[in-house]
Amino acid sequence: MVATNNIGGSVAPGWEKVRDAFVANFDGEEIGAATAVYHRGRKVVDLWGGSFDAEGTRDYTEDTLQLVFSTTKGITAIAVAMCVERGLLSYDEKVSTYWPEFAAQGKGDATVAQLLSHQCGLYTVDGDISLAEALDWNTITARLAATAPLWPIGTQHGYHALTYGWLAGELVRRVDPAHRSLGTFVQQEIVAPVGGELWIGLPESQESRVSPMVGGLNTMDDSNLDPAVKAMMEQFMGPNSPGGRALSLNGAFSVDGAFNRRDVHAAEIPAANGITNARTLARIYAATIGDVDGVRLLKPETVERARTKVTPENEPDACLIMPTTFGMGFMVHGMFSLFGGPGSFGHPGAGGSVAFALPESELSVAYVMNKMATNLANDVRAQTLANSAVECAGAASR
């Protein structure tokens, strides 16, 4: 057992550098966090520590659950890949084949691959929308089906920060023989076989275990910035910019503390409100690339297709400005998503969380936390842990 400055958990011999990196993170601004690593189908790191909340009213423990924002997207991508592997979906088929209403407003030829790689220009909906409307599955998916693309489909890509999950989730619901919601599909087809705890649509009985998010993307003090720099930031990431509209769904999620609210936790937002822990995320990714206690979620050829980059090299993201790299719903290794290096696939979450796999190293890594950094990806805490895990995996292979 590890017990340093309120840090608990276990580390297999040879993986101590991950523990050291995790402990070192608490010398900065970490409040509460957890990390886990699987190697060759075996859990080698499982650590947690710090405080459950900013006030320090209780410890961040093995039992703590954490909202992980867009790290949820990777789980949704696994669900879609499972449907593809079962012959229920094809990445190359038109979305409208499975979801006829999606053909509205000139979207009839959009493919599943284009939708999953953020190329459909549907990063928000047409017109105003309330938070209550956004939390209602039938309302939000109908609104998206009726929305006109914001660019000619396939000509560029832009991060569908919230809408990705409803779009991909509705595809799963439409093709699933039982017509299960994405949250139910994930529970029954991913979490139950693999083991662990992860919800997209949290039961009220689990709410007290959820560590509240502290801070956010808009908490950076810009009072001392040059006016020209502030104006540029407003243009590219302000509330009326593509990035601002994508991240808030035209302002619907701009309510202070929205992602700490019970109604937001209870809804299914498969791009942004997964609630889980690090060990479950690492275990799920391990089961996508290999056998974990007799369970494997995806075949190697499915993983290979899903992690192959389809967005053009160095193409700027229309919402996030800098280039982003997408496969079939997963972010893949690139300047915005370093992960464990080339070959990695997974997804980061706003403020710091991340989960990814690197098949070449038989490695999966996850990190969750309650103190949000002001960045969307490449969190220093997470990257230090990822680098340490890759180094340990390399040493174990020698």
Q: What are the pLDDT tens digits along the chain (398 aa)? A: 344 569 999 999 999 999 999 999 999 889 999 999 999 999 999 999 999 999 999 999 999 999 999 999 999 999 999 999 999 999 999 999 999 999 999 999 999 999 999 999 999 999 999 999 999 999 999 999 999 999 999 999 999 999 999 999 999 999 999 999 999 999 999 999 999 999 999 999 999 999 999 997 654 444 554 565 445 445 556 788 999 999 999 999 999 999 999 999 999 999 999 999 999 999 999 999 999 999 999 999 999 999 999 999 999 999 999 999 999 999 999 999 999 999 999 999 999 999 999 999 999 999 999 999 987 778 999 999 999 999 999 999 77
CA nearest to 40, candidates 395, 396, 364, 362: 362
Active site residue 337: no
Give the position of tokens 């309650």: 370
Cα 53 off chain centre by: 22
Q: Which tokens in the block code for residue 93?
A: 């088929």
User: How far apart are alpha carbons 194 and 278 in whole angstroms?
Assistant: 14
CA nearest to 379, candidates 17, 29, 13: 29
At residue 225, the pLDDT reads 44
At residue 5, the pLDDT reads 66
What is the per-residue pLDDT across 40-59, written as a single tens digit (0 to 9) for each?
999 999 999 999 999 999 99
Element of type H or E holding 200: strand 198-200
What is the per-residue pLDDT across 133-184, written as a single tens digit (0 to 9) for each?
999 999 999 999 999 999 999 999 999 999 999 999 999 999 999 999 999 9
User: How far apart are alpha carbons 146 and 149 in whole angstroms?
Assistant: 10
β-strands 331-332, 210-211 pairing: unpaired
State which amino acid sits at residue 180.
R
What strands lie across the sheet with 32-39, from one edge to the other?
Answer: 7-11, 42-50, 32-39, 363-369, 354-358, 345-348, 331-332
> Crossing angle, helix 71-85 and helix 163-175, to 10 degrees?
20
User: How far apart are alpha carbons 145 and 115 in whole angstroms?
Assistant: 12
User: How far apart are alpha carbons 122 and 149 in whole angstroms?
Assistant: 5
Q: Rounding to the nearest 10 degrees, give the CA dihedral for residues 218, 220, 222, 228.
A: -70
Find the catalytic residue in 10, 51, 70, 344.
70
At residue 3, the pLDDT reads 41
User: How far apart are alpha carbons 151 and 149 in whole angstroms?
Assistant: 5
At residue 229, the pLDDT reads 43
CA nearest to 344, candidates 69, 355, 352: 355
CB 325 within 8 A of CB 337: yes
